Structure 1
Amino acid sequence: MKYLLVLAVVWVAIWLWRKNRREEMQERAARTPRPASPPAVGAPQAMVRCAHCGLHLPASDAVRGTDGTPYCSAAHRQVAERA
């Protein structure tokens, strides 16, 4: 009989401990700021290939040659135009 009483006391102690721990976790989760929404991702961009080295880059970042050929940098454009 006394073992049953000890078991009941241990069970109540564990139950109270878990209940308090659950409440602390909920309070901690409520205090931490969450991002309102995921960061917006822009629309896909057209990719072009550098005429000199073959690097693929967004068309908006490309440097255009005199004939409209895309290059990855001004140095590659100058090298290609000299040749």
Structure 2
Amino acid sequence: MKFLFLLLVVMVVVWAIKRGRKSPSAPQAPQSTPAEMVACAQCGIHLPHAEAVAGQKGLYCSTEHRSAAQDSNPA
């Protein structure tokens, strides 16, 4: 009986050590920097700068809002 108890204690200790040393199962994605947000000059909605439509008077969320503001595409 003592032998079984000792074997159980050893197995629990080995399991605890292995669990503590285990590397993370899923690699974590690197943190990316947040995108710069801009407001549409026509409606005020915020959108990423990369998705904005440029005009001479400002940035817009779509070509329709740039046209509604009577703005032209900067050449």
CA distance 1:22–1:72, shift in 2 (3 Å):
farther
Match of 1:52 among 14, 28, 42: 42
Structure 2, unpaired ranges of 5+: none
Q: Count residues in correspondence.
A: 68
TM-score by length of 2: 0.53
Mapping of residues 63-74 of structure 1, within 5 Å: 63-65=53-55, 67-74=56-63
Distance 1:57 1:49 in 2: 6
Instruction: For residue 23 of structure 1, report the CA deviation from its aligned partner.
Output: 2.5
Instruction: For residue 53 of structure 1, report the CA deviation from its aligned partner.
Output: 1.4
Give the number of the structure whose residues are more often helix, by fraction.
1
Distance 2:45 2:58 in 1: 13
Q: Which residue of structure 2 lines up, in the alignment, with residue 20 of structure 1?
A: 11
Computing the radius of gyration from Cα coordinates, the structure with the larger value is 1
Among the aligned pairs, what percent are the same residue?
A: 32
TM-score by length of 1: 0.50
